[in-house]
Chain A
Amino acid sequence: MAQEKSEFLKGTLDMLVLKVVALGPIHGYAISQRIQQISKEFFQVPQGSLYPALHRLEDRGWLSADWRESETGRDAKFYTLTRKGRKQLETELVYWERLSDAVALILRAAE
């Protein structure tokens, strides 16, 4: 069943990553930190999921990336949301809202 969970997570992770990147150009480490902070340490994003996700999103043209100097003075790979990525994020958010509404409905009905 482990695979099914990761399958479920994969979609969610993509959406979270898109959402975080939407706030402004950001590098991989910061993305994982931000998700961890905002979710109040609920989500621990393993590197083994993060980087495949980042590269996949970049590959699909939802994120663009460039190397530039970071706040520490070292070069880092910064990700930016593309126009296509913004659209994708919107659809995913809509979908997510509907899903959580539906889940909430079911849970309430089951009580």
Chain B
Amino acid sequence: MHWLRRLFEKQQAEKYLDAELRDHLERQISDSIAAGMPSEEARRRAHLDFGGLESIKQQTRESHRGNLLETLFLDLRYAMRNLQKDRRFAMVAIFALALGIGSSTVVFSIFYSLFFNAFAAKDASRLVVPVIQNTENTGPSGSNLEPLTLHLADLDAVREQNRVFENIVGYIVEMVLANDGSQMYQFSSTRVTSEAFVFYGMPPLLGRGIAPEDGKPGAPPVFVMSYKTWKGIFHEDPKILGKILTIDGEPRTLVGVMPPRFQAYGLQAQIWIPLTRSRDTPRAEEESAAAVLARLRPGITIEAASADLDGIVKRLALLHPDDFPKHFATRVQSATDSLLGPQGGRTQFHSDMKHLLYDLLAAVAMLLFIACSNVANLLLARATVREKEMAVRSALGATRGRLVRQLLAESSVLAMAACVVGCLLAWFGMKFVPGIVPSTGDLYAGGRLGTESGFGLSAPLFFFALALTALTTLICGLAPALRVARTDLQPQLAGTGKGVNGRARHGRLRAALVVAEVALAIVLLIGTGLMMRSFFLLTRVDLGFNPKNVLFVVFSPQVSKNNPSVSLQTFASPQGLLLLRDVAERLKSLPGVAHVSIENAMPGYSPSAGPKVTVPGATHTEDAGIFACDENLVPTLELRMVQGRWLTEQEVRTAQYVGVISQRLARDFFGDANPVGRQIQVKAFKGPSEATQDAEFQIVGVVQDVVSAGPQQPTMPMIFLPYTVRGGFVFLLKTTVEPASLAHAVEEQVWAVDRNEIIALATPLEDFLQRFTYATPEFGLLIATPLASISLLLVIVGVFSVMAYTVSLETQEIGIRMALGAQQGTILRMILTKGAGLLATGIVLGLSASYALTRFLASQIWGVSATDPWTFTAVAAFVVAVGLGACFLPARRATEVDPLVALRYE
């Protein structure tokens, strides 16, 4: 009740003040009466003498230093009144700050939700993902770092032997077919170890999550559904619990629906199924290895956990050497790093969100500084105009401190208004964020990175915006306020109040601010320019094929009890080949499909460097990718033949040992000679039905190089062989319509052939390119480009206002010059030179800063040097043009000065 007492004290003080003044009045009256004045006259004189009682009270009150809050309130009210008088200034300042605060809040929200709020799990900061590094294969940097997968028995061993994890769980992501008796569904499903849901610690929306008992052998088979699936496929049916679906040929009961934010264990998982196993289940060889998620015990560091894990896994590797690389190291990564770091996807995907976010945060800090210095500049200009007001206030007894506080109050009113507008802008801006956050690279788990992050305005963001507001208040208001505090205000009263002295120093401060603005904007523009150029180069990479209108259909037998040996070679069996042809025929008959090709790779990202190849007589071998395909691959992908011919239908059907080699392979082994008709040997060739052995193929043609490790990586040697020799399970459909629109029809055709055994994943090839390669740089660009544009806009405003102000200060000088015969051109040149000087200084500083800073952008740009001279030159030229444009208007105005008016100006 502090404020109550304060209020009471204030009332008391008022009462005493009143009493004191009344006492004085009474005494004066009684003295006058004693001196013989008539009482009426005495009273009148005394009142006259006193003047306004209220005004004396007010003056007396103000002589108290008073409490801080009270004067703050007064200052704010006064500031508001002042700003209302100068609406145009207030609007420009609020607009500039709002852009700065708004952009900062948006970028911070992305940063916050991905770095600190990316997982809905309890104690998410202690979640770690074990990774394994193959130290034998020293490929390009970090390319051999992968998430560790473990057999369930090994997972149990790690759980028992470690001393660093609170718990560790495993999960296996797969595609399943589900059947509810009337309808067929294809789900992205995750089988989880039974304690995984307790581990994650998120309560379900309906029913229950998977419980540890569900993993015991003989437990009733159950499953849990994601919110999105419940909503999208089952229309939020409230009575869905208890529904039975036949999944994997086994009827399972739905026991729970998870809340919207839960998206653990597979970024696209639609259903979760418990892994059933007991302690003594033998280490089954056909069982797929599980991905791993662990939580550190409190106080355990990443390093300690890594050391402990590495020891355990190395011991496991001694027992099961086939499951691990010959030389490797394991360690743990925080779940956030694993999600955002360069190793999050695989290296060919080049998704380094972590550093991108740091860069964007730095960019937005620069933008905020530009906005602040813009407003500081406007405030300084205003301060000059108001010097006389300040002098009068100071003469009337306002202390310097009070004046400084007054100015800070004004900038804080501006900043608070800007905070409100900025939060609104941020709110709009953030609506677009979830749509542009890139996804990770997993083929099946192509979910958005932020699937589990809570994007949106939250309490931490609100505090962030408030902190920014306080910061901007200080940055904007301090320069002009300190200036007032430092200058001698006395001459202001003596002179005309135009503030002649101190003007030069004043001008220098403003010029310095503009130079800083220009320099920062240059850094932002160059950074964005580099990203743009890099993205442009990336999208212009010659892939060697045309991904447009190609539907990629992965086609695989379902993991089920009827079909225990799941192998990608399955389709090479005689019935498998028949099945493939059957499906291919059906797909070809679909309207909108031009070509169908059977093959085994995802163009652009595979095949990876495979077996060693050589030619008879050659002394060296090379790692080559093997692309198994049929005769239709050339029209489907629009491959370009260089020499010879492509595989014929006859050769594919009869499984001839013939091949087409890539240009690079041809050059490496044959130089300028014609390779057609020569032999090529593949070491340790693994055909579908034969044992591994060296095999020779006759070269029938040479095709232009095809990208196979993402557009950023150079092409590698490649051989195209008939899929009947090698095995293939992927369909590529060249369509004449939008490929995604065919996905459903494709599913139906596949199921028409075999309703229960096959699952398919149909995605346009361009989607993969987008997701794996373009999404992250595009995301960076989509954020950086607005930031750079806003900074440019603010700089234009800044340069314009400082020049306009300079011109208005020098009107008199210009008038004199013109009266003495200066030409308009001379005046124009004089003003432009001044502006050009500012710009030039800013540009030189900006270019040097960029030269030093863009290396931090190196992980985000590709195909272009961080100090790319073209980008530097282009940005500098652009800023010169735009900056001079901003100077030109005020300069023109200067030439239109009428000397007579100008001389009478003051």
Interface on A for B, CB 8 Å cutoff?
Answer: 3-4, 7, 10, 27-30, 32-33, 46-48, 51-56, 59, 67, 72, 74-77
Contact B51 A29 (CB under 8 A): no
Contacts of B285 in A (CB 8 A): none
Decide: A59 near B63, CB < 8 A? Known: A27-B23, A47-B56.
yes
Least distance between A52 CB and chain B CB atoms (Å): 4
Q: Does B234 contact A (CB under 8 A)?
A: no
Contact B56 A51 (CB under 8 A): yes
Q: Does B28 contact A (CB under 8 A)?
A: yes
Besides A74-B23, A75-B19, 5 other A-B contacts (C-beta < 8 A):
A27-B23, A28-B20, A29-B23, A29-B28, A77-B20
Give Cα A48–Cα B50 distance, bound, in whole angstroms. 8
Tell me which of A10, A29, A72, A76 has the highest count of chain B C-beta atoms within 10 A of its own C-beta.
Answer: A29
Decide: A28 near B24, CB < 8 A? Known: A7-B395, A47-B50, A48-B51.
yes
Q: Would you mind naming 9 contact pairs between A and B with Cβ atoms under 8 Å apart?
A: A3-B392, A33-B31, A47-B49, A51-B56, A52-B59, A52-B60, A56-B64, A67-B16, A76-B20
Contacts of B64 in A (CB 8 A): 55-56, 59
Contacts of A56 in B (CB 8 A): 63-64
Tell me which of A3, A47, A72 has the highest count of chain B C-beta atoms within 10 A of its own C-beta.
Answer: A47
Q: Secondary structure of the B side of the interface?
A: helix
Least distance between A25 CB and chain B CB atoms (Å): 14
Contact B23 A76 (CB under 8 A): yes
Give Cα A74–Cα B22 distance, bound, in whole angstroms. 12
Write the chain A residue with the least CB distance to B397. Answer: A10
Least distance between A55 CB and chain B CB atoms (Å): 5
Write the chain A residue with the least CB distance to B392. Answer: A3
Give Cα A60–Cα B395 distance, bound, in whole angstroms. 20
Interface on B for A, CB 8 Å cutoff?
Answer: 16-17, 19-21, 23-24, 26-28, 30-31, 49-51, 55-56, 59-65, 392, 395-397, 493
Contact B28 A53 (CB under 8 A): no
Contact B56 A4 (CB under 8 A): no
Contact B493 A28 (CB under 8 A): no
Give Cα A56–Cα B61 distance, bound, in whole angstroms. 9
Contacts of A4 in B (CB 8 A): 395, 493
Give Cα A7–Cα B489 distance, bound, in whole angstroms. 14
Contact B20 A51 (CB under 8 A): yes
Give Cα A110–Cα B57 distance, bound, in whole angstroms. 44
Contacts of A77 in B (CB 8 A): 16, 19-20, 23
Least distance between B862 CB and chain A CB atoms (Å): 68
Tell me which of B31, B56, B61 has the highest count of chain A C-beta atoms within 10 A of its own C-beta.
Answer: B56
The 8 Å CB contact of B59, one of A27, A28, A30, A51, is: A51
Contact A51 B23 (CB under 8 A): no
Give Cα A32–Cα B493 distance, bound, in whole angstroms. 31
The 8 Å CB contact of B51, one of A10, A46, A55, A67, is: A46
Contacts of B20 in A (CB 8 A): 28, 51, 76-77
Contact B21 A51 (CB under 8 A): yes
Contacts of B49 in A (CB 8 A): 47
Write the chain B residue with the least CB distance to A2. Answer: B395
Contacts of B61 in A (CB 8 A): 55
Contact B55 A48 (CB under 8 A): yes
Contacts of B26 in A (CB 8 A): 74
Contacts of A3 in B (CB 8 A): 392, 395-396, 493
Contacts of B19 in A (CB 8 A): 75, 77
Contact A51 B395 (CB under 8 A): no
Least distance between A71 CB and chain B CB atoms (Å): 10
Give Cα A74–Cα B19 distance, bound, in whole angstroms. 11
Give Cα A76–Cα B384 distance, bound, in whole angstroms. 48
Contacts of A67 in B (CB 8 A): 16
Least distance between A85 CB and chain B CB atoms (Å): 16
Give Cα A103–Cα B274 distance, bound, in whole angstroms. 100
Least distance between B215 CB and chain A CB atoms (Å): 76
Contacts of A74 in B (CB 8 A): 23, 26
Contacts of A29 in B (CB 8 A): 23-24, 27-28
Give Cα A51–Cα B13 distance, bound, in whole angstroms. 14
The 8 Å CB contact of B65, one of A48, A53, A54, A59, is: A59
Contacts of B24 in A (CB 8 A): 27-29, 32, 47
Contacts of A27 in B (CB 8 A): 23-24
The 8 Å CB contact of B63, one of A7, A30, A32, A55, is: A55
Write the chain A residue with the least CB distance to B52. Answer: A48
Contact A28 B23 (CB under 8 A): yes
Give Cα A30–Cα B220 distance, bound, in whole angstroms. 100
Contacts of B59 in A (CB 8 A): 48, 51-52
Give Cα A46–Cα B19 distance, bound, in whole angstroms. 18
Contact B23 A52 (CB under 8 A): no
Give Cα A75–Cα B31 distance, bound, in whole angstroms. 17
Contact B493 A51 (CB under 8 A): no
Give Cα A43–Cα B168 distance, bound, in whole angstroms. 90
Least distance between A77 CB and chain B CB atoms (Å): 5
Tell me which of B24, B64, B395, B397 has the highest count of chain A C-beta atoms within 10 A of its own C-beta.
Answer: B24
Give Cα A67–Cα B31 distance, bound, in whole angstroms. 21
Least distance between B363 CB and chain A CB atoms (Å): 50
Contacts of B51 in A (CB 8 A): 46-48
Give Cα A10–Cα B27 distance, bound, in whole angstroms. 24
Contacts of B31 in A (CB 8 A): 33
Give Cα A77–Cα B27 distance, bound, in whole angstroms. 13
Least distance between A33 CB and chain B CB atoms (Å): 8
Contacts of A30 in B (CB 8 A): 27
Give Cα A67–Cα B24 distance, bound, in whole angstroms. 14
Tell me which of B19, B59, B64 has the highest count of chain A C-beta atoms within 10 A of its own C-beta.
Answer: B59
Give Cα A74–Cα B27 distance, bound, in whole angstroms. 10
Contacts of B23 in A (CB 8 A): 27-29, 74-77
Least distance between A61 CB and chain B CB atoms (Å): 11
Contacts of B65 in A (CB 8 A): 59
Tell me which of B21, B30, B31 has the highest count of chain A C-beta atoms within 10 A of its own C-beta.
Answer: B21
Contact B493 A52 (CB under 8 A): no
Tell me which of A32, A51, A67, A74 has the highest count of chain B C-beta atoms within 10 A of its own C-beta.
Answer: A51
Give Cα A27–Cα B23 distance, bound, in whole angstroms. 9
Give Cα A51–Cα B23 distance, bound, in whole angstroms. 12
Contacts of B50 in A (CB 8 A): 47
Give Cα A30–Cα B31 distance, bound, in whole angstroms. 11
Interface pairs A-B: 6 shortest CB-CB: A56-B63, A52-B63, A3-B395, A29-B27, A29-B24, A51-B60
Least distance between A80 CB and chain B CB atoms (Å): 15
Give Cα A43–Cα B776 distance, bound, in whole angstroms. 81
Give Cα A77–Cα B13 distance, bound, in whole angstroms. 12
Write the chain A residue with the least CB distance to B62. Answer: A52
